[in-house]
Structure 1
Amino acid sequence: MSIALTNLSREDLIDIWLYGEMNWGAESVDQYLDSIDAFLKTLINRRNIADFHYIKDIKER
């Protein structure tokens, strides 16, 4: 399974990188985005890590 990002989420990640690079440097922001990527992969590989039933409930309203 892979991560599918929307155009908006890609733009957000670019904005995060640009802001982070200006304020903390490229190495720090690369590490931060790597941690986001690792977390998303953890969610994919361990879908039972959290109970997301409330999302389904919201969509049904």
Structure 2
Amino acid sequence: MNSGQDYCTNFDFWQTYELWIAFAVDEWLRGLLMLLRWGTQTWESKAMVKPQHVLTT
């Protein structure tokens, strides 16, 4: 019979490994979605504040 210590150590390793994979997938998915959103430029018409043109001398 295995001790409880062996189970916890092995479980913590895989749990940490899967957590980092989830972080990486989340970052890539958010990045790709924002890239698609940026490319459509539909967000420009939804701006709350209109840009002001600054005169330069």
TM-score interval, smaller chain:
0.3 to 0.5
More helix by proportion, 1 or 2?
1
User: Which is bigger in relative contact order (C-alpha 8 A, separation at least 6)?
Assistant: 1
TM-score (norm 2): 0.44
